[in-house]
């Protein structure tokens, strides 16, 4: 699989919002129930708010044949806010490629630590990248309680 990594542009907002929705609602099944995925993401994010959220961070886009197949957003403090891959390419190295681009940037910025709130789906991925789970958390979303982990990696 040939994956190209580039930076987010404002024109990517609608495609990444749809990918986020699909990644949670389809890709999140298994670790989470259908009711939990619906509570996590009830609808596709409002595009302007989404555009602002991704534009305010360093957001990396993974493309294949011109299609967006994943994205990762990291803020200036090293917090990975969002990391999602299209369900049809999960497990094919897209998340790894995105993550390596973000980690490289963090090292170049002189950051000493990365943090994230990792879902049950992302938790094993982060562990494989050398991260440590600091705390298991339970968060309420629209009447459902979702399990996740607060994680870190020292650089």
Q: How far apart are CA 101 and CA 105, in angstroms?
A: 6
| 57-106 pLDDT per residue, tens | 999 999 999 999 999 999 999 999 999 999 999 999 999 999 999 999 99
How confident is residue 25, by pLDDT bands cut at 50, 70 and 90? very high
Classify residue 87: in a domain, yes or no: yes
Classify residue 97: in a domain, yes or no: yes
Percent of the chain with pLDDT over 70: 99
Structural domain of residue 43, as residue ranges? 4-111
Number of domain units in the chain: 1
> What DSSP letter does each residue of 90-132 carry, written as one string?
TTTTHHHHHHHHHHHHHHHTT--EEEEEEETTHHHHHHHTT-E
Q: How far apart are CA 80 and CA 7, in angstroms?
A: 15
Domain with residue 75: its CATH number is 3.40.630.30
Classify residue 153: in a domain, yes or no: no
Instruction: Assess contact for 16 and 71: CB atoms under 8 A.
Output: yes
- In the beta sheet, which residues pair with residue 118? 149
Classify residue 78: in a domain, yes or no: yes
The pLDDT value given to residue 57: 98
How confident is residue 32, by pLDDT bands cut at 50, 70 and 90? very high
């Amino acid at each position: 699989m040939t994956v190209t990594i580039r930076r987010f542009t404002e024109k990517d907002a609608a495609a990444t919002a749809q990918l986020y929705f699909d990644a949670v609602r389809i890709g999140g099944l298994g670790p989470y129930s259908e009711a939990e995925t619906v509570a996590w993401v009830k609808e596709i994010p409002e595009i302007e708010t989404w555009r602002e959220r991704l534009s305010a961070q360093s957001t990396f886009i993974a493309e294949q044949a011109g299609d967006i197949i994943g994205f990762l957003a990291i803020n200036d403090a090293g917090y990975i806010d969002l990391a999602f891959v299209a369900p049809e390419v999960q497990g094919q190295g897209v998340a790894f490629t995105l993550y390596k681009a973000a980690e490289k940037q963090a090292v170049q910025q002189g950051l000493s630590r990365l943090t994230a709130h990792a879902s049950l789906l992302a938790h094993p991925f982060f562990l494989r990248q050398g991260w440590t789970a600091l705390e298991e958390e339970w968060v309420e979303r629209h009447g459902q309680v979702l399990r996740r982990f607060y994680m870190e990696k020292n650089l």
